Structure 1
């Protein structure tokens, strides 16, 4: 009985480790946006704003996009 419990525990740990290693870094697999889309997104964001806090958020979003965009599009 003790051997069966140890076997099941090992199986659960192995499956957990396999799942964890399969999903690590998957967030980095997303393709970079085209840099032109950063400017378009910024323009439409600012157009929809009604206050300066919104414009600041649009600028922050543009900075994030521009740091990761691809010029080769």
Structure 2
């Protein structure tokens, strides 16, 4: 749960600062990091797949929120 919160905040920072290529790289890095870790520790299973999906959703939902917050407001004229 703490990791998901950190990934959400990281996604907000990416959304505020960078574009979609950065979130693709971050998602790939997350996958490349966690799958070998789970394989080495012998924890890779169906539950780990659900955790991975949750981590990706946290990262990408933070990115969407950051992108929304970075969008300039329309000034009423």
Which structure features the higher share of helix residues? 2
TM-score (norm 2): 0.38
TM-score (norm 1): 0.40
Find the structure with the greater CA-based Rg.
1
Between the two structures, name the one with larger relative contact order (CA 8 Å, sep ≥ 6): 2
